[in-house]
Amino acid sequence: MKKRILVISGGISKERIISLDTGKQVAKELIKNGYNVKISEPDYRLFDVIKLFKPNIIFNALHGQFGEDGYIQTILETTEIPYTHSGIISSSLAMDKVLSKKIFIKNRILTPKYFSYCFDKSNKDLIKLINQRLKFPVVIKPINEGSSVNVFICSKNDVLKKIKLLKDYKKIMIEQFIPGREIQAAIIGSKKLGAIELQPKRKFYDYQAKYNSKAKTKHIIPVELSKKDFDKLMDLALKAHKLMGCRGVTRSDFKFYKGRFYLLEINTQPGMTSLSLVPEIAAFHGISFIKLIRLILKDASTNK
């Protein structure tokens, strides 16, 4: 009998389009390989869909808020059906950039210095605060978005202008800007999958660089590192994966500067689109797209 896989994608986050693409690519590959697949939005009809379709496993293809922050995971736990990727606590911890940084620091994983910032109407003391704590340039970002949504590198001259673009968030994070190489490392289960280096044509690997093929980001694999440095990179990625209690696949984003790796964040729901990094890393190591999906599904069924 064919396994029934329910793919949940879409949602209401700012990453809806990416989620729909991930869901479409995963469903297409599963159908091609003989699975019985249904795609659903995470809306009020979800429980009816689950009841009628009776999936063996739920593939969570959601990205962003409500999809990878513990919210949908809380709902899926009530179904008692295995679902892919990380659970409630690890998802919520990884999505909160401030909480995850505190965990990194406590466990001696190097990460850029930062402080969280709540808006006031004037922001008049912000430049003084940054000069006292971090120095310019800095990175400003929401504490709970993915895919580099609303992330900006700011100088002293444009920080007040850029920060106004984040006024809809109650709290943001202001982070030390680390120059250097952008390297991403992937883990699946307890296995070190591999890494890739990115050389964006844009200022950094932002949303456009990630999902717009015209941005022409250069992907370098294998990463040009010494064996010692590469092993250290993968050890750090696996350490972060385990510290957060993650399961399935994760992608950790690093900056490599002056011989040191700085962990920026860990992503519990990396994209599975044609431009996504984890499938590219897997392919380089001889793991086809369907095999990668099966590994994710297997992890869901064995960790529930």
- Of the candidates 303, 251, 252, the one whose C-alpha atom is nearest the C-alpha of residue 272 is 251
In the residue annotation, 224 being an active-site residue is answered as: no
**In sequence order, what are the residues at sequence separation of 6 or more whose Cβ sits closer than 8 angstroms to the Cβ of residue 152?**
139, 140, 141, 162, 165
Q: Hey, is 36 helix, strand or coil?
A: strand
Q: Which of 211, 247, 252, 276 is catalytic?
A: 211
Q: Which of 69, 145, 265, 299 is catalytic?
A: 265
Whole-angstrom distance between the N-terminal and C-terminal Cα of the chain? 22
- C-alpha 254/C-alpha 195 separation (Å) is 10
In the residue annotation, 235 being an active-site residue is answered as: no
Q: Which of 90, 147, 150, 252 is catalytic?
A: 147
Q: Which of 207, 267, 276, 299 is catalytic?
A: 267
Cis peptide preceding 137, ω within 30 of 0 = yes
233 sits in which H/E element: helix 227-243
- Of the candidates 73, 261, 64, 60, the one whose C-alpha atom is nearest the C-alpha of residue 143 is 64
Q: Which of 64, 70, 248, 271 is catalytic?
A: 271
Q: Which of 253, 262, 276, 299 is catalytic?
A: 253
Q: Hey, is 159 helix, strand or coil?
A: helix
Q: Which of 251, 262, 276, 299 is catalytic?
A: 251
Using the 8-state DSSP alphabet, how is residue 205 labeled?
Answer: S
- C-alpha 238/C-alpha 213 separation (Å) is 29
In the residue annotation, 265 being an active-site residue is answered as: yes
Q: Which of 15, 68, 175, 206 is catalytic?
A: 15
In the residue annotation, 197 being an active-site residue is answered as: no
Using the 8-state DSSP alphabet, how is residue 214 labeled?
Answer: G
- C-alpha 35/C-alpha 174 separation (Å) is 45
In the residue annotation, 251 being an active-site residue is answered as: yes
DSSP secondary structure, 100-155, as one string: HHHHHHHTT-----EEEEE--SS-TTHHHHHHHHT-SSEEEEESS--TTTT-EEE-
- C-alpha 136/C-alpha 262 separation (Å) is 18
* Cα 106-98-148 angle, rounded to 5 deg: 125
In the residue annotation, 11 being an active-site residue is answered as: no
Q: Catalytic residue positions?
A: 15, 147, 211, 251, 253, 265, 267, 271
